[in-house]
Structure 1
Amino acid sequence: MARCMNYSKMTKDDFDRILYTRLNEETLQSIVKISGVSEIVSKYFNNDTLLNEETLQSIVSIPDVYDVVSRHFNNDILEVWEYEQYIKVKEIVERIELWNPEFQRTIVLLNLLNELTEIIYDTLDLKLDKYVNLRALPVREFHKESVEKYSSTYPIWTCDFEGSCLVGAEKFEIEPIDSIRHRFGDE
């Protein structure tokens, strides 16, 4: 089954950063040999000047050359950007796995999950459960019984040392354990 990458999330800065990194692997001659580039460049320079005095950056900055070169390297750029997104996901998942409710606040976990879901839903078009098992998140031992009791009827995933719980099915929020207990009639 094909996965659909949302490249509209790539910024111009991302595109240019990857393009110019990619151009560093090329020579001036290889860029000029790209179909359409030599015709544009020849309008600005004679061959001797071009080969002796110009840089890749100055060639790409010539009007219309940027567009031709961008199209030429577009697939390479998209592959690098997609790879970067997967690397970000991997790094965030590793940080989520290291989250410890005994001494870290739930807001840290919430921010990581929000960052992760933005990338995987909006950019990679994947599901959260492919990367994070919410039911396996650690719970502070002191609140473990309450979380287990209410999680069957309420989307409560974890609770930290302050009693701040990660809740929510579609959108994650933080809710105090005391509010959850009160809602279910426990005091």
Structure 2
Amino acid sequence: MGTYMNYNNMTKDDFDRILYARIKEENLESIVNIPGVYEIVSKHFGSDRLRNEEITQSIVKIPGVYEIVSKHFNNDILEMWEYEQYIKVKDIVEKIGLWNPEFQRTSVLLKLLNELIEVLYGTLDLKLDKYVNLRALPVREFFKDVVDKYSDYPIWTCDFEGSCLVGAEKFEIEPVDSILQRFEDDE
């Protein structure tokens, strides 16, 4: 994919969820044939024959097998998790694109942007402007002149209540009245 992935942000729950989903795609024989698994499984079952009724998840719970199986499927798990992160980004970007300042609060947009930034910067090491053009965010028509006039501030958008999304490094919500007062005092 060409980007750096920060796999440190993958939780053990994420890893296990993907691992067990991946294991469900396998049959018992393919799991037991992973180098090192058969030896552990045969010791665990002793002289009992491994029954085909055993589910693959129960085999992985045998001490020592989880480590071997998770290493075996590690690349598949990482690829699936990376794919999930891109799907998450796409979903959030789509919701941002649907945000409407005529009837939705800026706090909704701020929450979406923070979620997107967390995935982009924390996991995918990508920049926000690759996915969201802040200058293209919709603005309530009533406040469009203010946003355009003070675009150096940076003020990105205002909602129906006059709550504006502002900030360069970190986004915040500021009332349009405060912005206008600050600039009127400077004039």
TM-score, normalised to structure 2, is 0.95
Residues 140 and 159, structure 2, Cα contact 8 Å, conserved in 1: yes
> What do residues 44-86 of structure 1 show as CA deviations (whole Å, max 9, x unaligned)?
1147531345221111001110000000000000000000000
**One-letter amino acid of the counterpart of residue 27, structure 2:** T
Local SS of the residue matching 2:92: helix
Per-residue deviation, 1:116: 0.3
Q: How does 1:105-124 map to 2 (within 5 A)?
A: 105-124=105-124
Match in the other structure for 2:83:
83
Residue 99 of structure 1: aligned partner: 99
| Residue of structure 2 in register with 1:185 after alignment | 184
| 2:170 alignment partner in structure 1 | 171
Aligned partners of 1:139 and 1:158 also within 8 Å: yes
Cα deviation, residue 2, structure 1: 3.7
| Matches for 1:13-28 after TM superposition, within 5 Å | 13-28=13-28
- Separation in structure 1 between the aligned mates of residue 125 and residue 154 of structure 2, nearest angstrom: 23
3-state DSSP of counterpart to 1:44: helix
The DSSP-based 3-state class of the residue aligned with 1:165 is strand
Contact 2:37/2:65, CA 8 A, preserved across alignment: yes
For 2:156, give the aligned amino acid.
W
Secondary structure of the 1:14 match is: helix
Q: How does 1:1-80 map to 2 (within 5 A)?
A: 2-46=2-46, 49-80=49-80
Deviation at 1:98, TM superposition (A): 0.4
**Amino acid aligned to 1:128:** L
Q: What secondary structure does 1:26 align onto?
A: coil
Superposition deviation, residue 39 in structure 1: 1.1
Q: 2:155: which partner in 1?
A: 156
Number of equivalences: 186
Aligned mates of 1:147, 1:66 — CA distance in 2: 56
Q: Which amino acid aligns with 1:162?
A: E
Stretches (4+) displaced over 4 A? none
Q: Secondary structure at the match of 2:173?
A: strand
Rounded Cα–Cα distance in structure 2 between residues aligned with 1:64 and 1:157: 54
Q: Deviations over 1:91-118 (max 9, x none)?
A: 0000000000001000000000000000
Alpha-carbon contact 1:105-1:160 (below 8 Å) kept: yes
Contact 1:28/1:51 (CA < 8 Å) preserved in 2?
no
Contact 1:156 1:167 survives alignment (8 Å): yes
3-state secondary structure, aligned to 1:103? coil
Note the residue ranges of structure 1 that are not aligned, 5 or more in a row. none
Q: Distance in 1 between matches of 2:53 and 2:121?
A: 47
Question: How far off its partner does 1:185 sit?
Answer: 0.9
**Identity among equivalent pairs (%):** 76
